[in-house]
Structure 1
């Protein structure tokens, strides 16, 4: 073996060791005691914002909140008045199931069975089974304060996309809470319902009848497999949340009637015209995950889009969360910018933070553990350089279960690699990453 080949093998071995070390650092470890002292604590809960406050973490949970807390043997972080929040919601994304948007081999978020006209309905399709906690996309979001997300499912042949789940980005493989079912309505889903949105309600009623056993097993036009019947039945009578992608006000009204008739629990994703039916949504206790930047009629379902959507919904008593309309997986870290835009358009600042923390946690069944800073809650926390809804500021440290994560990602490592000082002339003036020796 040549010396150069031997050196290459050593370099590869060292790279593998480094990769294993980085992975070990990113995975859950035994939680240690931690005292974050003198922070501006935005609890996102009933206590509101607490000035010059300490947060003590023991055993991965928040043990005490107050002033002058004794550190004992806890590691002490001096916040010096900087903001402390719960980790943020990343929106409805493909984090962990979508590596490269344009490369189908790295995407597990969409089911394609035959042609769209085949109407292959597979509510049993569960994307959480493909979740990869070691995805390179996850640290990019995590170092920006994103602590949990709702991974989405879609189908090329059905208005029912399948099931997703809320996932913590702490290295865990399993869902952090109950699974949800995805449903698409309106013009964007008309291709999966005989080109007519009217047919969507016909198909949905038929599927409910099948899942409830109201149709004979050999009935003509049956659409569900036995596994599909069991999966859909799990969401009937309010036993699970159905996340519905819908925009037009009249479609939202039909959705409220349909969900009330069948006793279903629904949440809306999108809702560009939701402000028009804000009172009805509030009365039905249906939350809406909006895109605050939707202010133009992207299609005929969104003619009433406005950047004041979130503010109007909140004023009517609707629980408002946030979700991006496109490329959400690679831009989850920008969701706080959307929340900041909603605040600029009239949404109270506290409601903007709640839409990134408490509201999604409550809607997704995680509210007893994360989403607020309170005694007994899981210590998923972020210390910021300044206002977390202002993109001029950044996350300085993120903790999961009170454990500090490495504040680096593939992007920061590439930045550091290629922003090296110019090397001596014998190296051709190239950055370190390009050196030949």
Structure 2
């Protein structure tokens, strides 16, 4: 049955992979080029934060656009705009202009993920959704890793990589427009009571927010850190790619472990190990060993990037079926806010202290999650393992409102048979 589901959407999955590859290329390219153009660290942090601001705005606006004109038209329009924005950054090299363009890029990618993920959910059934999204998540991680390799194809100081990113986005548009699948429909999400979500799952809210902060800081400023440390483009691609590989390889085992014990305990030790791992890169810098620095990035990715999916799963463990939709929208917004503030806060910290402070900042953020987890473990009795839903693997990039909506609708159609079916994106 899964093969029958995958065959009609091979072009859709191909398009998603190309889009993700272009996004990963842009993230590192902008950081490196900002260093080449002598933008200060705070300006680079603002530029990277602007992407997440655009993503948040897009998550709020795009569902209504789709309702008015349909998935295909929205996808074609925003893909074209995303292709233009990255090209414009190669023409006008100014931090304020780049900030505006990155915000537009974030809005475009919000729309692209809303269209593609809701399309996947429309095609999937309750019997195939878990495996389908497992393939989707692995594909995203692999594409982000490959995006780092593309940095080696041209010099970041020229136009080539900007043009390549634009071409990739345009290429992704072609197969998705040719998919012969009825365009899915989604409804505008209901308003979320953020305070209610905080009261329901304070550890989960802390986790998804801090996950955005750490991911935004690492991916937004990691390339700048590597460039300033003296790495060339090839070494930078390996440096950032190591974090993606770490996150991809340990996402599954950490998630499965969290299904077999109190999920808060998994969050606790993952946060602690992630904080310790953050000191490996500065140690490698002190030892002047790029191998140690790349090993450090592998372990940072392995024990920092899975936090979002762990925290999201913990939140969903606490929810009633009718709360899924609004909570999912809130999770996305909180993670987006974290992703927007992370690069900015880390950049300020780096300016005030020193370059290695990026990783001290990541360590501090992970420790803050560990402290909240320790408090909640002592304060709140453990949930029965049978009552926990399955782990929800989530892509490194902020997910879309459409995914939450379609999953919630799928749950309603299955009459809420069991808690683990509240969100079917599971391994």
Establish whether TM, by shorter chain, passes 0.5.
no
Question: Which fold has the larger relative contact order, with Cα–Cα distance below 8 Å and residues 6 or more apart in sequence?
Answer: 2
Please classify the TM superposition score into its range, dividing by the shorter chain length.
under 0.3
Whose strand proportion is higher, 1 or 2?
A: 1
TM-score norm. by structure 1 comes to 0.23
Whose helix proportion is higher, 1 or 2?
A: 2
TM-score norm. by structure 2 comes to 0.23
